[in-house]
Amino acid sequence: MKTKSERKFQLIGNIIMIIITACALIPLVLMAISSFTDNDVLVRNGYSFIPEKWSFFAYEYIFKSSSAVIHAYGISILLTAVGTVCSLVITTLLAYALSRTFLPGRNILTFIVFFTMLFNGGLVPTYINYTTVFGLKNTFWSLLIPSLLMNAFNVMLMKSYFMTGVPEEIMEAAYIDGASEYAAFGRIALPLAKPIVATVGLFVGIGYWNDWMNGYIYLTKRTDLYSIQNLLNRMIQNIQFLSQSAGSISNAQQGLANIPSVSVRMAMAVVGVLPIIVIYPFVQNNFVKGITLGGVKG
Amino acid sequence: MAAQVLSPEDKLRQKRKKKNLLHRSIPIYIMALPGLIYLFINNYMPMPGIVLAFKNYKAKKGIYGSAWAGLKNFKYLFSTTDAWVITRNTIGYNLVFIIVNTIAAIAVAIILSELTSKAKKFYQSAILLPFLLSAVIISYLVFAFLSADNGFINNTILKAMGHDPINWYAEPKYWPFILVFVNLWKGIGYSCIIYLATIISFDRSLYEAAAIDGATKWQQIRSITLPLLKPTVIMLTLMAVGRIFYSDFGLFYQVPQNSGALLPVTNTIDTYVYRGLLELGDITMSAAAGVYQSLVGFVLVLGANLLVRKLDPDSALF
Over residues B227-265, the pLDDT tens digits come to 999 888 988 898 888 889 999 999 999 999 888 889 999
B80 touches chain A (CB under 8 A): no
| Average of per-residue pLDDT values in chain A | 87
List the single best residue of A119, A124, A283 to mutate versus B (max B Cβ within 10 A): A124
Whether residue A29 has pLDDT greater than 60 = yes
Q: What is the pLDDT of residue B18?
A: 58
Q: Where are the domains of chain A?
A: 4-45, 66-259
Interface contact A30-B152, CB threshold 8 A: yes
Q: What is the pLDDT of residue B247?
A: 93
Chain B CB contacts of A109 under 8 Å are: 32, 36
Q: Which of A10, A116, A122 sits opposite B50 (nearest CB)?
A: A122
Domain count, chain B: 1
Q: From CA A139, how far away is CA B75, in angstroms rounded?
A: 37
% of chain A surpassing 70 pLDDT: 91
CB A231 within 8 A of CB A68: yes
> How many contacts, defined by CB atoms under 8 Å, are there between A and B?
304
Q: From CA B172, how far away is CA B157, in angstroms rounded?
A: 20
Q: What is the pLDDT of residue B6?
A: 65
Q: What is the pLDDT of residue A179?
A: 86
Chain A CB contacts of B119 under 8 Å are: 14, 17-18
Interface contact B125-A284, CB threshold 8 A: yes
Interface contact B216-A21, CB threshold 8 A: no
Interface contact A236-B139, CB threshold 8 A: yes
Interface contact A128-B63, CB threshold 8 A: yes
B151 touches chain A (CB under 8 A): yes
- Cα–Cα nearest to A104, from B283, B191, B24, B218: B24
Chain A CB contacts of B34 under 8 Å are: 89-90, 93-94
Pairing mode, strands B67-68 and B55-56: antiparallel
Nearest-CA residue of chain A relative to B154?
A46
Q: Which residues of chain B have pLDDT under 50?
A: 1-2
CATH no. for residue B119?
1.10.3720.10
Q: Does residue B4 form part of some domain?
A: no
Phi, psi of A37, deg, nearest 5 = -100, 145
Q: What is the pLDDT of residue A244?
A: 61
CB A119 within 8 A of CB B246: no
DSSP B277: I
The better pLDDT of the pair A296, A79 is held by A79
Print the domain residue range for B247: 72-315
- What's the ipTM? 0.89
Chain A CB contacts of B185 under 8 Å are: 23-24, 27
Chain B CB contacts of A114 under 8 Å are: 317-318
Q: Which of A6, A20, A213 sits opposite B127 (nearest CB)?
A: A20
Class of domain A66-259: mainly alpha
Nearest-CA residue of chain B relative to A119?
B298
Chain A CB contacts of B29 under 8 Å are: 97, 103
Whether residue A282 has pLDDT greater than 50 = yes
3-state SS record for chain A: CCCHHHHHHHHHHHHHHHHHHHHHHHHHHHHHHHHCECHHHHHHHCCCCCCCCECCHHHHHHHHHCHHHHHHHHHHHHHHHHHHHHHHHHHHHHHHHHHCCCCCCHHHHHHHHHHHHHCCCCHHHHHHHHHHHCCCCCCCHHHHCCCCCCCHHHHHHHHHHHHHHCCHHHHHHHHHCCCCHHHHHHHHHHHHCHHHHHHHHHHHHHHHHHCCHHHHHHCCCCHHHCCHHHHHHHHHHHHHHHHHCCCCHHHHHHHHHHCCCHHHHHHHHHHHHHHHHHHHHHHHHHHHHHHHHHHHCC
Interface contact B27-A237, CB threshold 8 A: no
Q: Which of A149, A244, A276 sits opposite B38 (nearest CB)?
A: A149
Interface contact B194-A296, CB threshold 8 A: yes
Interface contact B274-A45, CB threshold 8 A: no
Q: From CA B118, how far away is CA B294, in angstroms rounded?
A: 46
Q: Does residue B194 form part of some domain?
A: yes
Q: What is the pLDDT of residue B249?
A: 93
Nearest CA to CA, how far is A128 from chain B (Å)?
8
Q: Which of B35, B148, B258 sits opposite A91 (nearest CB)?
A: B35
CB A230 within 8 A of CB A215: yes
Interface contact B258-A237, CB threshold 8 A: yes
Nearest CA to CA, how far is B1 from chain A (Å)?
26
Chain B CB contacts of A41 under 8 Å are: none
Q: Which of A27, A97, A262 sits opposite B32 (nearest CB)?
A: A97
Q: What is the pLDDT of residue B116?
A: 87
Q: Which of B28, B63, B286 sits opposite A103 (nearest CB)?
A: B28
Q: Which of A46, A93, A296 sits opposite B150 (nearest CB)?
A: A46
Q: From CA B203, how far away is CA B46, in angstroms rounded?
A: 48
